[in-house]
Structures are given as structure tokens and as C-alpha cells.
Amino acid sequence: MNQRATALCTAALLVVASATAKVLPIYIEDNHAGTFYWLAQKLDLDQPCTLILFDAHSDASGIFDSDNIRNALRNVASSRDRQALLAHWRSNGTVQCFNWIEPLMPAPIARVIWVPAGEFSTSEVDKRKQEATALLDGHLEAAPRKSGSLRESYVVSDFHNLDKHINPNQPLVVTIDLDYFAGLSATEQEIAFARIWNFVIERPNLRAITFAISRPYLKDEDEAYRLLELTLTAVISLPTAQVEFEPFQTVANDHSNLAKESMINGKKLPVFDLAQAPQELRARILSERQRILVGHDTTHWEQLLGTWNDEAPQLHLQVKDRQPSTDKVWRILADQPAEIELVAEPWTTKSEKIEWFALTPKYLRCNLTDLSTDQVGFVANAASRPAWNELPIDYHDSALPISKLDNLFDPQWHCGSLRLRACAVVDGKIRETPVLELRRFIGTGFRSAITEQFGLPYLFGSGELSEDSDTGPETNLGADCANFVVYALRRQGQRVPWSDPKRLREDLDLVTRSATPGTARISAEDLQRGVIVHLGTHVAAVMEDRQPVGILSENDLVAHQLGGAPEILTLGELLKERRKNCFDLFRVPPPKSAATLVFGGDVMLGRSCAAKIESGIDPFAGIVPLLHSASFAAANLECTISNLGASAQRYAFRAPAQSAQLLRRSGFRAMGLANNHALDFGTAALEDCAAHLVQEQIEPIGVGKPGGKTYTPSFFSILDGKRIALLAITDVGPAAGHQIAAASDRSGLSAAIANARSHANLVVCLVHWGGENSEKVTDEQCELARWLIDGGVDVVVGSHPHCVQALDFYHGCPIAYSLDNLVFDGASTVESWNRGALLQIGLNESVQVSSASLIPIVLEDGLPRADRLQKGKTLSSR
């Protein structure tokens, strides 16, 4: 491999990458020459593609001795060198808006199809081709081009005949100059834009789209802003689009005919100015700022957004008296009432002219793969990517009852997924909300995660989806038949990889082969975990065991997804539809733990608890059987085991010296010290406390170690030499510098997680966070939990709020947001203070999580015991 190939192989070669990553790159700039500079950086210059040009102008002018440009592009040593070369050309105006196509021909652009604006006869089309190709080959005689004439590679077509000219087997790049719509009325522009846009995004071989605003060729600023808003609205409707917008990029030395004419007349060419954008456009950009990438002059961009942001309060949506899951989705039982609130910040601000919108799937089925129709006939002619339709909701109050949305959920079961946004006038300014995702579900466990997916499209190849840290159907865009099931498994804490019907068998337990209706037995426990009907190339989830109970009969209900949105039907109907007489029956494996981890919440052994210890009472006596049955136990130590130091704080907790011995006897092998009480009596007392623990062979976590940092993970052997890693951090209390591990040091924490990940089979992080005496999980907790798991943590264990918070799963990883108190006196009349939980983690032989549950405990006078009323039960997850 030569130097150039070696250096460029790491670049984002657009034609190849977009086909495999399911991402559609979209680029927007004022000057159409910007498309050249972007494509020349992104395209594989040796991969032929077709360019479709929607433009009022042919942009076909040739460049004198353009082989110099082609050679220079190919003879750079690295992607960075090519970028510098292009920046130099841009600053000199080497390539202009009227001649940007020719330097990219005949490779990577092997063919151009120009679609002029308007309706044309055959003779008019021929005339435009003659004019365009004359420009294209204009310098051939004076400066021969190595590839010779490009006349046959430049095609002109009206819109109605465009499809005839497209080679379905060649990658396609589309560029749209907004002057294509110049001069039309606003309504006509919307209609014409929608016609072009729908045609473009449905091309199966589409690899990229670029837009040129072309302000000098538009009627006025209002037309430019209106067309840009149409463009942004369209591109944002594609959830797999990667949108690059360069509002401040320019191309120097414009010597187009229009520029020359303006100079002769003593006029300045109009310049696109985003800073003067109208309120509607500002609102759309602000609400979608996370989707829009700006690479040039980012300081100017952030300043502009900041100025707009400060003009009026911001809006967001929330479900009243509820909270979202870790994945930012709001989940509600299908039969429960709820209100979606439009909230202005500050909350005293009144919103006016409120409009609500629902985002619904534009296509019910999509083929995300590059497989041919012959290979995937059941999704033949399906759309190539998901997209959203924006539907207005006839409601204008700030609190939207969910009953007003019933017609947008599954008509029979009233469950499924829906996205909402709203816009309103606040302090005289238009504001839009970010999108809120709402999911209604039926039942609990596996089946609830199945029903929350109703309404989403069938996406063949959904396992290849990727958006930020989310993959597969966890992007919340849809699923195919196997991943429809896998998503439900992952929501319940099963870390099953995205799959297909064949591979899915490996993650399930076989109940029986070649079963027929009425012959296979099923149990209520199996239904709760998940029962799967396997038809070879298709799968379905059993939803309801009808009479006769305990036997899978043809009248029992199953859910599946194939060729459209999910549906529930009887087993008999499914078999008839799939032309099958029998099926294999699988179930989600019951938890089989080769080892068990137990984690507790806040352990405070001071005050009256200290007096009990000194009188000979073991504070852990009520839960010792649970702790001793575990392979490993740990908790958060919210006190200091030391006689050193003094404290003026009202709440400063000192534990007796024998506390460390009691912790060891109870079965604890580690205690987290990263919390807001670690330094109650100063640094010397903290170090003395850690020493007491070490003396009893208990590992102190989250504090500085000899030769290590506060973040340094501790490792513990489990199952024949396999290891778990444990970290502890705090997100509350004063910044402790080098003394205890703080969540705020993301860089240090990230390095510690990477270290743990490389030396252990499982990584657990104890986190002290959240608001005291609140069952509500804060946005900050959710963000940190996502960050930890995205960074490599497998289990997150929370403490500090002094009440039990939700057990949730993110990407299949358990998050116990708060386990409440394990040993803690001081609030005997507060029920939430005295009802805690232990997190029990089951591990398989590979030391991967096989189960996660909360075991309820009760505190009596500050000391824990198993909750006899809840014996054998676990607390529900959210």
C-alpha cells in the first residue's frame, strides 16, 4: 500500500462508510463551490458515483488545465494534507460555484445528471445539454484533459424522466441548489421542495446530499431564510442523517458572471447572513442544535446561538409528576392517565400561541442493508432509511392530556412509541422544544418492553444502526423481527447482542422442537421472562396464555414485527400467515448464577448505632444470611472509623473502632469511602479509617492508595481467578481534590474505567449522588449513569438519597440509582428512610451479569433486617 493510500485509509471515505454505518451525510453551505471542497475531502476519489444536480444553472464550466487539480488531490500524503490544500484553494477561489463539478470528473463523479428547474420538451432538454457540455469541454483545445471529452458523462433530464437515467447499482450523490426554487411562491416552494426531497431520500443507493443556499441568486433574504428552514426541517426528519452546516464559510474571489455584472454596476453581491435569521428559523436551529455540526468558526456559531438563546426563555416538554428512564424515554402504562406539560424556564413565563406536533414514521418498512431485491424480496421496494412525518395536533393548551393522542397509538392496545414536540411564543419570541419520546406499554417485564415498540417501523438490518452511544433498536427508530425481541431482552437486563433469527437461538433455552398448537407447556414465570415462537426465519413473542392455561394453543396471543409496525395476533393466525404447521419454542433462560454479588446502600455506624455496637449488638445480624450467601459484598461507608480529628459540622458521623471487624464478619470485602461524610473529621481520620478497613482485609474504595490515585480500581477474584473491578466516586459534597474520587474529574475517571476494563471481566462503580429524601432520579444522575456505562462500566450502584430509587437498565446494564439506607438511624418515623434495598447481581461463568434485582429490607431503630412481608419478592424496575 503506498503512502497516500495508507494515510487516507483512516479518513471517512463517504461512499464506502455511509453504506455500512447507516449514516447519511448531509452538507449545507451558501456557495455551491462548497460542495466541491466537501466532496473532495470526503469522497473516495477512486470510487465512481453518479451526481444528480438540482440547480437553475448547469455549473458545468470547465477549469483551464484542471488535471493539475485532479493530480494535486491524489498526491497528498494524508487526509490532513488534503484538507490544508482544499483550504488554500478555497481562500484563493481556485474552484468556483460555476465550475466545481468538472475537477471531480471522471472520478469520483463518473456521471452527472442535471435536472434544471421547470418543465421542458425534448428539444429544450437537448439544447440545455449542448450548452452545458460546450462549457464542460470549453478548454479542451487549449488545455487537453487527460481523460478527454466529458460530453457523454453529462446528462440533462427533466424531473419526470429522471429515474430512467439513474444506475441503481452505482453510488449516488445528490446536490440541491436552492435557487432551483427561486421565484416561486412560498406554497409552491414547499410543494416543489417536498417533491424533490421525497424522490431523493427514497433512492436505495444514496450516499450523500449537499445543499447550496446561493443567496446571490435568490430574490431576497426572506426567500433564503425560508428555503433554509425548509432544508433544515427536511434533513432533521431523517434520524440517520449527519448534518453539517457551515453558515460562515466563504469562497474567495468570486468571478461568476453575476459577480462581474454587480461589479460593473457598482453593487455588492448579496451575502447570506445567518445572524439576521427570522424567529422561525432561529427556533428550529436552537431546538435541533445537537443535530447540527458546525466545523468552521465554531466560536462565532456558539456566540450566535448564545445570543438567540438569551432572547427569551427556553421551552421543554415533560410528563407531569413522572420522570424519564435512563435512555431519556418517558414510559407510561397504557391504561394510566398522564399529561405532557410544556414548561418554560423560568417557569413564571407564560407561553402563548401553543402548537403541538407528533412525529410519526414516514415509512412502515425500510431496508437498511445493501442486499439486492433478490436477496431480500420481503422488503423489496422498501424505503432505504427511516424518516419522520410531522403531524399537527389540534390542541393549544400548555398541558396535553395523553387521551388526546389515543389515535396515534396502536388502535387496539393503546400502546407504542410516539415522539412529540411543541412550539410557542414566549416573551414575543418563537421557541421550539426538543423532541420528547413517549412510550406506553402493557403489563410488566419482557412483555412490557415488547408492547412499547408498537408503532415503530420494520427496519431490516436494524442491528447495524448507531446513534451516539446507542446501537440497534436502542436508537428507538424501529427493529426487525429478531431485534424486536432482543430489544425487550436488553430492557430487562439481558446483555444479548443484536441478532437475527438464527443467532438468537444461541441466547435462548429450547423448550421443544417442532411443536404444534396445544402440545407445548408454558408457565407464568416463563411468560414474565419471555417465551419465543421460532419459525426458522421469523420469531414472535408470546403475549397472553389464554384457555387452556399452561398450554400454548392456537388462541394464545403472540406479538411480532414483519414488513410493518408490530402487531398482536393469535398463534393460529401467525402460523397461517407464515404457512407453517409447527414451530420451535424457546424461553428466556431463568437466572443461573455461578456467583452472586450483593451491594448495600448507606452504612452509618455512628450516633445511636455506635452505642448499640459498643453494647455488643451486631448491626448486620438481620441480613447476615444474605451477605454470607453472596460471593462478594460491598456498600457505602458513610462514617469515619477513627478517633482522630474533630468536626464542627452538625452531621458528622464517627464509628467505634470495632466497626471494621463487624463489617468483615458480616461478609463485606469492600466499602466505598467516596461520599460527603468521608472528610467529616479531616484527612488524617479518613486515612486512619481506610487503614482500619485494610487491617480487616476490607478494601477501601474511592480514596487515595499508596502508589495510586483515588480513582485507582480495586480488583477481586471471582470464579477461578476471574476478576471484578470496583470503583467509587462521589457527585455530592465539597470537592475533595486528591483525597476522594470525585465524579467531576471525567478525564481521571475515564482512565480509571479503561484500566479496570482491561484487567477485569466485570466493572462495578459505586456512585454517591442525587438529592436527599427524593425518589426522583435527577437529570444529572441519568447523564452520569449513561456516561459511565458508555465508558465501560457494567453495573452502577447508587447511594445518598436516603430512599430507594429506581432500578433501571441501559444498554442491558443495571443501574440501581439508590439503595437507601442499610444502617442509619435518625428518622424513625419517615417510612422511606427505613425501607431500603440490597442489589443482588447474578453472574454467569464468564462473570457477566445474568440477573439483577432489588431485595427489600426494613430498618428498625436504624438496623436492617430482611422484609418479612416482602419475602421472596423484589422491587420493580422502571
Cα angle 846-850-853, degrees, rounded to a multiple of 5: 145
pLDDT at 562 (0 to 100): 92
Q: What is the mean pLDDT of residues 720-744?
A: 87
Residue/partner pairs of 827-833 with CB below 8 Å, 24 or more apart: 827/802, 828/861, 828/862, 830/773, 832/773, 832/775, 832/802, 832/803, 832/804, 833/773, 833/802, 833/803, 833/859
Torsion of CA 517, 518, 519, 524, to 10 degrees: 100
Cα-trace Rg, the chain: 32
Sheet strands (E) in 604-648: 632-637, 640-641
pLDDT tens across 201-226, in order? 999 899 999 999 999 999 999 999 99
Q: Is 222 exposed, middle or buried (0-12, 13-18, 19+ CB in 10 A)?
A: exposed
615 alpha carbon, distance to own chain's centre: 54
pLDDT tens across 303-336, in order? 999 999 999 999 999 999 999 999 999 999 999 9
Q: What is the mean pLDDT of residues 421-425?
A: 97
What is the longest distance spanned by two Cα atoms in the chain? 105
Give, for 865, the enclosing helix (H) or strand (E). strand 863-866
pLDDT higher at 10 or 531: 531
Beta bridge partners of residue 391, listed in sequence order: 358
Under a CB-based contact definition with an 8 Å cutoff, are residues 792 and 822 in contact? Answer: no
Q: Is 772 exposed, middle or buried (0-12, 13-18, 19+ CB in 10 A)?
A: exposed
Residue linked to cell 443501574 = 815
Number of alpha carbons in the 13 Å side-chain half-sphere of residue 720: 5
Under a CB-based contact definition with an 8 Å cutoff, are residues 380 and 300 in contact? Answer: no
pLDDT at 10 (0 to 100): 33
SS3 449: helix
pLDDT at 468 (0 to 100): 86
SS3 459: strand
pLDDT at 705 (0 to 100): 77
pLDDT at 4 (0 to 100): 32
pLDDT at 868 (0 to 100): 62
Indicate the angle between helix axes 221-236 and 279-287, nearest 10 degrees.
Answer: 30
In this structure, whether the domain defined by 314-449 belongs to CATH 3.30.70 is answered with no
pLDDT tens across 734-770, in order? 655 578 999 999 999 999 999 999 999 999 999 999 9
CA distance 812 to 816: 13
Where residue 146 falls (left for φ over 0; alpha for ψ -120 to 50; beta otherwise) is alpha
Mean pLDDT of the chain: 93
pLDDT at 9 over 70: no
pLDDT at 463 (0 to 100): 95
CA distance 534 to 541: 9
pLDDT tens across 538-564, in order? 999 999 999 999 999 999 999 999 989
Cell numbers given for 561? 414485527
Q: Is 548 exposed, middle or buried (0-12, 13-18, 19+ CB in 10 A)?
A: exposed
**What are residue 545's phi and psi, to 5 degrees?**
-95, 100
pLDDT tens across 565-589, in order? 999 999 999 999 999 999 999 999 9
pLDDT at 623 (0 to 100): 97
**What are residue 808's phi and psi, to 5 degrees?**
-130, 170
Q: What is the mean pLDDT of residues 175-189?
A: 97
Q: What is the mean pLDDT of residues 783-793?
A: 98
pLDDT at 243 over 70: yes
pLDDT at 737 (0 to 100): 57
Under a CB-based contact definition with an 8 Å cutoff, are residues 461 and 379 in contact? Answer: no
Percent of the chain scoring above 70 in pLDDT: 95
Cα angle 658-659-664, degrees, rounded to a multiple of 5: 100
pLDDT at 873 (0 to 100): 43
Encoded amino acid at 545, one letter:
D
SS3 779: helix
Q: What is the mean pLDDT of residues 72-85?
A: 95
CA distance 548 to 544: 11
pLDDT at 119 (0 to 100): 87
SS3 525: helix
Under a CB-based contact definition with an 8 Å cutoff, are residues 345 and 361 in contact? Answer: no
pTM for the whole structure: 0.92
pLDDT at 874 over 60: no
CA distance 312 to 844: 54
Number of alpha carbons in the 13 Å side-chain half-sphere of residue 809: 26
Encoded amino acid at 623, one letter:
I
Q: What is the mean pLDDT of residues 138-160?
A: 94
Domain boundaries, the chain: 3-309, 314-449, 595-870
CA distance 868 to 856: 9
pLDDT at 7 (0 to 100): 35
**What are residue 460's phi and psi, to 5 degrees?**
-70, 125
CATH fold group of domain 595-870: Purple Acid Phosphatase; chain A, domain 2 (3.60.21)
Residue linked to cell 435462548 = 508
pLDDT at 373 (0 to 100): 66
pLDDT at 734 (0 to 100): 66
Confidence of residue 517 (pLDDT cuts 50, 70, 90): very high
SS3 462: helix
Sign of torsion over alpha carbons 658, 663, 665, 670: negative
pLDDT at 867 (0 to 100): 83
pLDDT at 107 over 70: yes
| 816 Cβ contact partners less than 8 Å away, ≥ 6 residues apart | 599, 796, 797, 798, 805, 807, 837, 839, 852, 854
Alpha helices in 492-535 (DSSP H): 501-504, 524-529
Q: What is the mean pLDDT of residues 705-729?
A: 91
Q: Is 439 exposed, middle or buried (0-12, 13-18, 19+ CB in 10 A)?
A: buried
Of 25-29, 53-57, 626-630, 648-652, the range with the lowest mean pLDDT is: 648-652
482 alpha carbon, distance to own chain's centre: 20
Of 4-18, 476-490, 673-687, the range with the lowest mean pLDDT is: 4-18
Residue linked to cell 408498537 = 454
CA distance 387 to 235: 9
Q: Is 307 exposed, middle or buried (0-12, 13-18, 19+ CB in 10 A)?
A: exposed
CA distance 872 to 855: 8
Residue linked to cell 482491561 = 758
CA distance 586 to 569: 19
pLDDT at 483 over 80: yes
CA distance 283 to 305: 10
SS3 57: coil
CA distance 685 to 682: 6
Sign of torsion over alpha carbons 549, 550, 554, 558: positive
pLDDT tens across 259-305, in order? 899 889 999 999 999 999 999 999 999 999 999 999 999 999 999 99
pLDDT at 345 (0 to 100): 85
Beta bridge partners of residue 399, listed in sequence order: 341
